[in-house]
Structure 1
Amino acid sequence: MAGLTAAAVAAVAFLAYQASANAPADVSAEPRPTTSAPAAPATNGPQQPPKDPLAVPANSGSGARVVYALAERRVWLVDEKGQATHTFSVMPSTVHPVPGAYTVTSRSGSVRGSDGVQIEHVVRFTTVEDVAIGFSAAVDGSLPTPDPERKTGGIRMKRADGEAMWTFASIGAKVVVVA
């Protein structure tokens, strides 16, 4: 047992020697993290301000409408003055609407989605490849990535966002889909 202990002590001493041999003579010579903000990178032109999440896409029409940006996976609820009253991210379905203007054609308070999940605040606005496309919120609050092997049309949102959509988008409300 004494032999094992001696071997372990020798191994630790050797590793400590290696570590000290590779350390700088003055530890204070190492760069230290700073608390100031990093310098802004040099640019060749004017910088773009950060994008305002409430900024409604410019190519989305006018008046009261729901705007769904496919690439951004974001929805805006826009009032008559063209101001966003609510915006939120969504999880798109596997079947997508083409960019264009639509109207809300049907609504359901609570149903089972095409993926088998219990959903609420369903607001449908078109059909693509025989799949109804609309906004909804899962009752369990989940936002799973849809199975790419299944044709689904539910554009999922959080429950609170679903309530806002339900209140805003009645039958006949305008829905604008942008790329």
Structure 2
Amino acid sequence: MPARVPSWAWVSGLTVGAIAAVTVLAAQAEQGPQPTAAATKPRPSASAPADARPEPKKTAPAPVPDGSGTGRRVVYSVGQDRVWLVDASDATRRSFAVWPGTVDPDPGKYSVGTRRQDPTTGSDGVRVEQIMYFTQEDGVWVAFSNAVDGSSPPPAAAGARTGGIRLPKADGDALWEFGTSGTTVTVVA
């Protein structure tokens, strides 16, 4: 009569097999195709709640737009609602989607001026931090910032003129570290 295998051995064997299968599937998923960002600005749908704002899409890094210059810089694409952090060797260190304000800066080269790390209330009533001003457009200051609680901004009130370009919290942290005073900000269409 063959020896009986204890139940703990069966359970251990099945657990090891399941962990191996999940590991293989995760590795395959990471190597597969990744979604790409749409070139159009997302708009809330008619069926979305009034206070809902679409989340920036997490996608494979988009290439830095042509005509954005060379060297260490922050690149902001008005048309793509996206920011790139580009190092001195022209390598992209990070790229992420953003929520724009209602006032877009004109294409051109600017530099980070005033920086404010302490929280304050933004023009939309949300507590924001890590504010980096880089230009003024028709009397409205344009700046990068992130909500203290990491939330997306509420939809702008009709006729509101806001220049805040809101970032997700982790991206706001990365931009704050990268965009010291004087850092070039290149705005492209």
Structure 1 regions of 5+ residues with no counterpart? 1-49
Task: Provide the residue aligned with 2:8 in structure 1.
Answer: none
Instruction: Render the CA deviation track for 1:17-57: whole Å, top value 9, x for unaligned.
Output: xxxxxxxxxxxxxxxxxxxxxxxxxxxxxxxxx78624211
TM superposition shift of 1:71? 0.6
Task: Provide the residue aligned with 1:35 in structure 2.
Answer: none
Task: Provide the residue aligned with 2:91 in structure 1.
Answer: 83
Task: Provide the residue aligned with 2:42 in structure 1.
Answer: none
Q: Which amino acid aligns with 2:133?
A: R
TM superposition shift of 1:111? 1.7
**SS of equivalent residue, structure 1 residue 132:** strand
Instruction: Render the CA deviation track for 1:58-112: whole Å, top value 9, x for unaligned.
Output: 2100000000001100000000000110110000000110000000111111221
**Alignment map for 1:1-179 (pairs within 5 Å):** 53-109=61-117, 110-144=119-153, 145-179=155-189
Structure 2 regions of 5+ residues with no counterpart? 1-35, 38-59
- Work out the CA distance in 2 between the residues paired with 1:82 and 1:137: 25
- 148 and 93 in structure 1: CA distance in 2 versus 1, 3 angstrom threshold: farther
Q: Which amino acid aligns with 2:69?
A: G
TM-score by length of 2: 0.65
- Work out the CA distance in 2 between the residues paired with 1:80 and 1:86: 13
Task: Provide the residue aligned with 1:28 in structure 2.
Answer: none
- 148 and 76 in structure 1: CA distance in 2 versus 1, 3 angstrom threshold: farther
TM superposition shift of 1:148? 4.0
Instruction: Render the CA deviation track for 1:99-129: whole Å, top value 9, x for unaligned.
Output: 0000011111122111121101111100112
- Work out the CA distance in 2 between the residues paired with 1:148 and 1:126: 23
Q: Which amino acid aligns with 2:128?
A: I
Structure whose alpha-carbon radius of gyration is higher? 1
**SS of equivalent residue, structure 1 residue 85:** strand
- Work out the CA distance in 2 between the residues paired with 1:149 and 1:142: 22
Q: Which amino acid aligns with 2:100?
A: P
Q: Is the 8 A contact 1:76 1:87 kept in 2?
A: yes
The list of structure 1 runs, each at least 4 consecutive aligned residues, that deviate by more than 6 angstroms after superposition, is none
Q: Is the 8 A contact 1:56 1:83 kept in 2?
A: no
- Work out the CA distance in 2 between the residues paired with 1:173 and 1:129: 23
Q: How many residues align?
A: 130
Q: Which amino acid aligns with 1:114?
A: S
TM superposition shift of 1:147? 2.8
- Work out the CA distance in 2 between the residues paired with 1:153 and 1:107: 15
